[in-house]
Chains A and B, each alone.
Chain A
Amino acid sequence: MNNRLIEYGRIIIPVLLHLAFFQYVILANGWWFLGFHLLGMLLIPLQRSPLFILLLCGMVGALVDLAAYEGGLFMSSGLIMGLAIPVINRLMAPREGYENSDEPTIASMGLAWFIIRTATLLLIHHLWLFTWEASRWGLVFSAWGKAFTSSLFSTLAFALIVLLTQRQTKGR
């Protein structure tokens, strides 16, 4: 019961924090975009089905769209990320596969695994988001620049947050 609460809390709390505070934060003229709701998507348990992940990511994205008046942009990017999460999870799975107790956290999977997975997924999300947001060819290169810098910044921020808030569990 407690584990289930923590599991949902990990997804819901970052989304609420993003809607309440982080969507107002503009760092370095938008070059360091911190989509805090993405932390919730990244912490969806590894054992969840691809369908569940896709629907949850789409739903979270739509919620952010409604709050930020972005009209489907975050939903679209969330769906891309929702499709990519199971693929990346599979590609990064240990030889013997994931155990039931494994979580997508630093404590459970290690820092390198967390950083590579987070950076890859954020890059996929941000490339899609900023390219569509740019809406024209003249802005595509600056959009990709924003995607790279924001992915790097968010990865470091998320790693730090997860490190500071993690429970002490036995790693792999």
Chain B
Amino acid sequence: MRNLWNFIIQYHVILLFCVLQFFALSWYVTRNGYPRGKWVKRTLEWQGSWNEQITKWTRLNELAELNQELLAENASLRAELFAANQRSPSTIQSAEVVRFTWSNNANYFIINQGIEEGIAIGQGVSHEGIALGRIAEVSDHYALGVPIINGEVEWSVRIGKDGPVGRLSWDGTDITIASLHDIPKSTAFSPGDSIFTSGFQGFFPKGMLIGRVDDSEPYFDGQFLQIPILLAGDFRSMNYVKVLIGNELEQYQSLIPNSDSSRK
């Protein structure tokens, strides 16, 4: 017992380092692709307002007010258009991006609209009809989203309007290029073909543009093709976005046995 105590005293720094390192890495590994939880909500609130202030300073010359009016008008027109086409979502909420990262593997963005404006987890985020990401966490006035260029999230997409469905993922290197997986070798496609959302995940309605087939050669892994996709969204100049409110995610989840929403 005394030896153990002496050992602890002698190596207390290393032991404490191991304990704290284990905690830090567990925190990192278990965050499941994007941050969640109470801490995120709290920091989202205060950091969101600070981010918004910074954004205001940097965009003083961008006629922000006029832009927002135009966007709100645009959003309501698009909502009407969607309603006319009998497609979800039923409402579109315009929002300003107050923070966006694109130099990491697990990128994220923060918008200045939250629960009070009808934003909820799982809603799709788009700009000019192009799918950009989805909401991962919300506080009262801000929401945190994961963009398509997040290496830890996959998206269900389709080649063309009626082509085969595959998984779209980002490999963490070039923010203009993603990879489409699980496409059968027999699929007919050519460079420039459009890639649309499949609508299967419920974040986006079916048929939203996400990118185009790139010129470079697809990779064949022995079973399926891996196709490079040139993303349609310009993530570096993502200043304003539209959140697709009233998407089908909740309705889908209520139908799935043992899903989170059905347990509630």
Contact = CB atoms under 8 A, between A and B. Distances in A.
B212 interface: no
B104 interface: yes
Given A79-B17, A136-B172, A26 B12 contact: no
A98 to B, nearest CB: 19
A75 B12 contact: no
B224 interface: no
A168 to B, nearest CB: 35
B97 to A, nearest CB: 13
B25 A76 contact: yes
Given A51-B13, A71-B31, A135-B151, A58 B108 contact: no
Contacts of A73: 24, 28
A79 B151 contact: no
A66 B43 contact: yes
B83 interface: no
A70 B54 CA distance: 20
A61 B23 CA distance: 13
A50 interface: yes
Contacts of B27: 65, 71-72, 75
Given A29-B103, A71-B35, A51 B172 contact: no
A133 B21 contact: no
User: What range describes how many residues of A lie at the interface?
Assistant: 35 or more
Contacts of B47: 67
A30 interface: yes
Contact of B171 (A20, A80, A83, A138): A138
A132 interface: yes
Contacts of A82: 17
A58 B17 CA distance: 9
A51 B16 CA distance: 8
Interface in B24-50: 24-29, 31, 34-35, 39-40, 43, 47, 50
Contacts of B254: none
B102 A26 contact: yes
A67 B43 contact: yes
A24 B105 contact: no
A134 B24 contact: no
B144 interface: yes
Contacts of B26: 72
Interface in B156-178: 171-173
B77 interface: no
Nearest to A68: B101
A100 to B, nearest CB: 22
Contacts of B31: 71-72
B134 interface: no
Contacts of B151: 135-136
B20 interface: yes
B181 interface: no
B17 A76 contact: no
B13 A134 contact: no
Contact of B101 (A26, A65, A80): A26
11 contacts: A66-B43, A69-B34, A71-B27, A71-B28, A72-B26, A79-B17, A82-B17, A132-B28, A134-B105, A139-B105, A139-B171
Interface of A: 20-21, 24, 26, 29-30, 33, 50-51, 54-55, 58, 61-62, 65-67, 69-73, 75-76, 79-80, 82-83, 132-136, 138-139, 142
Given A72-B27, A135-B106, 18 more contacts: A21-B54, A26-B101, A51-B12, A54-B16, A54-B17, A58-B20, A65-B27, A66-B43, A67-B47, A69-B43, A71-B35, A72-B23, A72-B24, A72-B26, A82-B17, A133-B105, A134-B172, A136-B172
In the A-B complex, the 6 residue pairs with the smallest Cβ-Cβ separation, listed nearest first, are A30-B103, A72-B27, A71-B31, A72-B28, A76-B24, A75-B24
